[in-house]
Amino acid sequence: FITTALSAQNIVTTTLLGTKTQSQLLSQFGFPFIQYGVKYYRITYTTTNTQNALDTVSGLLVVPNNPNKIFPRLVYQHGTSGSKLDVPSYTVNNGEGQLGLLLGGMGYVALMPDYLGLGVSDGFHPYVHAASEASVAVDMLRAEKEFEAQNPVFTNDQLFITGYSQGGHAAMALHRSIEQELSDEFTVTAAAPLSGPYSISGVMRDLILTDAVYYYPAYIPNTALSYQTVYGNIFDEMTDLFKPEYAALITPFYNGTKTLSVLNSQLISALTANEGACRPFKMLQDSVVAGVENNPNHPINLALKANDTYNNWTPQAPMRFFYCKADDQVPYMDSIIA
């Protein structure tokens, strides 16, 4: 629910989801560096969407349960969501949100944004869109300060940033945004992006345009539909971009009646049946493939390039990349190139 009285980065609601003692966290994670119990909350707060309109988004906030100490903040950007509620503030007990509990137990005030179009936010999720991945986290940092004013939680000036897969991309986008645009408001202490698709226009584009078998074909429509939502110039009709048999599978996902996980399974089956193997570029119209391969100024190429996270920027705060050569979703060369 949004009213015109709301402004950016204001907390709308705060919901205590639960508490865990230090002993419970030690038992859950078996990690010796856990020093505190935690309280964890779903907060909803205002931000602006990709069309610069007011929106309400959600996120998981985890605080060490010790009001007598001052803690650093850590933003964790989450990976690709298989469904609208596959996000930190809804997966504290059985998904990526658990990492917030671990980080809180280690002594960080942990902030985990759910992103635009996910959690409580309406509309299509702007997947791997660097600017909104950054802005929704920035506004959560601002909302957290409002939370501190209302609760016995205290933080210092240290700010750490990390995230995995899509979240690695989002973590780097956040770090860049703060240093390029918000250095008078925040200072990044250190960042560690993890296995992110930083080279959207290079490594990821080349992966899709090759004849390689790739078992995450739904990432292609998820990215294309995201950039259509943001830029509005990728296609007029779904069949302008995708062959009709695949457009029919993708349209319900675009309309919000099918999850990404279901779409991925259906596309694997359809590509294997129709093309002999799961080669995602086969779902694209031949004219689109030719245009992307031959025209550097094709709208898809321009959108991809706009969302690389390392162009024209050198981090001022320490940054360390982590990646895995066995990652079957995001090639490790993304990290090498970045």
Is the per-residue pLDDT at 57 higher than 60?
Answer: yes
Average pLDDT over residues 83-101: 96
Q: Where are the alpha helices (DSSP H) in the chain?
A: 22-29, 98-105, 130-150, 166-181, 205-209, 219-231, 238-241, 244-254, 260-275, 286-294, 299-306, 333-337
* C-alpha dihedral sign at 277, 279, 284, 289: negative
Percent of all residues in the chain with a pLDDT value above 70, rounded to a whole number: 97
Is the per-residue pLDDT at 1 higher than 70?
Answer: no
* Amino acid identity, position 286: D
The tens digit of pLDDT for each residue in 220-234 reads: 999 999 999 999 999
Q: What is the token pair recorded at 192?
A: 């560690």
Q: Name every residue whose Cβ is closer than 8 Å to that of residue 255 and which is 6 or more positions away in sequence.
A: none
Is the per-residue pLDDT at 279 higher than 50?
Answer: yes
Percent of all residues in the chain with a pLDDT value above 90, rounded to a whole number: 95
Confidence band, pLDDT 50/70/90 cuts, at residue 211: confident
Average pLDDT over residues 194-219: 94
Is the per-residue pLDDT at 63 higher than 90?
Answer: yes
Nearest to 55 by CA among 121, 131, 111: 121
* Amino acid identity, position 2: I
Beta pairing, strands 71-77 & 109-113: parallel
pLDDT value for 311? 87
pLDDT value for 4? 36
DSSP single-letter state for residue 258: S
Average pLDDT over residues 106-133: 98
DSSP single-letter state for residue 114: -
